[in-house]
Amino acid sequence: MNRTQQLYKKAKKMIPGATQLLSKRPEMHLPGFWPAYYKKAKGCEIWDIDNNKYIDMSYMGIGACILGYADKDVDCAVRKAIEKGSMATLNCPEEVELADLLFKIHPWANMARYARCGGEAMAVAVRIARAKRQKDIVLFCGYHGWHDWYLCANLASNKSLDGHLLTGLAPRGVPRGLRGTAFPFAYNDTKAFLELIEKYNNNIAAVVMEPIRNYYPNPGFLETVRKVTKKLGLILIFDEVSAGWRLTLGAAHLLFNVYPDIAVFAKGISNGYPMAAIIGKNDVMNIAQDTFISSTYWTERIGPAAALATIKKLKDKKVAAYLSEIGSEVQSGWKQSAGKNHLEITVSGTPALSHFNFDYDGRLAAKTLFTQLMLKEGFLATDSFYASYAHKDKHIKAYLKAVDAAFRFLASAIKKGNLKKHLKGPVCHSGFKRLA
Ligand SMILES: Cc1ncc(COP(=O)(O)O)c(C=O)c1O
């Protein structure tokens, strides 16, 4: 057993669930073989603690590092923030500078609060909406973190959240009293959304959703959500934690000309340094003064300094356009290789957050074997590709060549019905599960 696997084995005994983020569990990708720990990361390259080097063609810091790992401009701004004192009794002026910049990019908004993680920022947004409306019910679509307001949807049925990115999220420990306060609807299902509105109309505080994730909005879907929420005075919250900064400079909703009452950013806004922003209109945001929302480390300097430097670079280098270009290249590479090798796959997602599914009963076994084959060739690769500015032509070309060989192997194994025989370990998990 190499050092990585030894350390992971030890972690499992000391840290319940072994990591702090479900997507960083090796069981989600290649149980027993995914290199759990890294020594160094730069650009789109990662060295594990056994000194193996990989090109990351998977999640790039689970969506946080749009510019690539250890980006020199962002790191330089962070170093300066550290030299000036990252924390003090007084506030850092970067908070105000960042608010100005965010409002310039999103002219519909004129007030901001800050947090440091996506899930907690979403909890802040939901608290503000509930405080404003003085109602409890939230209608939502998609994944928004681990907090009680969201997980309580699974108190009604353990499967309520299953269509929303992560399956099997267990609500144990979430107060039973929250049952009936959050109801999911599927993206693009206008009918289901309108039915929920009809059913809970008088008690709804907010509608929470990503403006886009794995599918583009059907004509009229976002517009209907906006029209109905406006008419009824409900707070529309767009979660831009993963979608933001990738499709355009700023929120993805800017592309659709549909504007929420609150938008929430995290992850990519600061390229690997903890930072989150909740922006909105003053008539809604000002309610944050009438409910207690406050935390010490939401005031430190590194997050806003990193966000300012990240946004500057995203703008200067026209990063969103670049991500679309290389993401499209990867999507067509997948399709071409699958077609050539007679492998059934479905490609989805925006180019910047691309995804494919193996269309077979043994979908997860195929995904696991794909990751195993790619790892051997020096790539961290799953069924998703999160494009970054650090992915250059040479990385994409080398990756697509390896994908082609892996797809050929998979197609042959599927044809022979012996896919699992080639797996060195167990099949990967598809969602949240207790670890053995
Ligand atoms: C759309 C969306 N919202 C919220 C979150 C939660 O963010 P965090 O993991 O920073 O708490 C995520 C994370 O994947 C996300 O994709």
Between vectors from CA 154 to CA 149 and to CA 159, what angle results, nearest 5°?
145
Please list every protein residue whose CB sits less than 6 Å from any atom of ligand 1: 117-119, 122, 142-145, 210, 239, 241-242, 266-267
- Scanning the structure block, which residue is given the tokens 């309520």? 160
Name the nearest CA neighbour of 391 among 209, 197, 246, 198: 246
Q: Give the mean pLDDT of 350-361.
A: 96
* Centroid of ligand 1 to alpha carbon of 120 (angstroms): 9
Pocket test for ligand 1, best of 242, 247, 269 (most atoms within 8 A of CB): 242
Rg of the Cα atoms in the chain: 22
Q: For 364-397, what is each residue's pLDDT tens digit?
A: 999 999 999 999 999 999 999 999 999 999 999 9
Q: 214 CA to middle of ligand 1, Å? A: 15
Among the residue ranges 106-110, 170-174, 313-317, the one predicted with the least confidence is 170-174
Ligand 1 center to residue 402 CA distance, Å?
30
**Closest atom of ligand 1 relative to the 266 alpha carbon:** 10
Take atom 4 of ligand 1 and give the residue whose Cα is closest. 144
**Helix H or strand E encompassing 94:** helix 94-105
Q: What is the mean pLDDT of residues 329-357?
A: 97
pLDDT bracket for residue 1 (50, 70, 90): confident
Give 391-403 pLDDT, tens digit per residue: 999 999 999 999 9
Interval between CA 242 and ligand 1 midpoint (Å)? 7
Rounded to an integer, the average pLDDT of 178-187 is 95
> Would you state the structure tokens that stand for residue 188, as one six-digit string?
């693009």
Distance 62 CA to ligand 1 centre (A): 9
Residue 166 has pLDDT above 80, yes or no: no
What sign does the CA torsion over 310, 312, 315, 318 have?
negative
Quick one: pLDDT at residue 157?
79
Q: What domains lie within the chain, and their CATH numbers?
A: 3-70+318-422 (3.90.1150.10), 72-316 (3.40.640.10)
At residue 183, the pLDDT reads: 95
DSSP string of 367-404?
Answer: HHHHHHHHHHTTEE--SEEE--TT--HHHHHHHHHHHH
CA of 267 to the centre of ligand 1 (A): 8
Q: How far, in Å, CA of 103 to CA of 121, rounded? A: 18
Which residue has the CA at smallest separation from atom 8 of ligand 1?
A: 118
* pLDDT, position 434: 82
Name the average pLDDT for the chain.
96
- pLDDT value at residue 205: 98
- Give me ligand 1 centre to Cα 60, in Å: 14
Atom of ligand 1 nearest to the CA of 21: 9
The mean pLDDT value for 22-30 works out to 96
Residue 275 near residue 116 (C-beta atoms within 8 A)? yes
pLDDT attached to residue 263: 98
330 vs 355: CA distance, rounded Å:
10
Report residue 402 as tokens: 């390896």
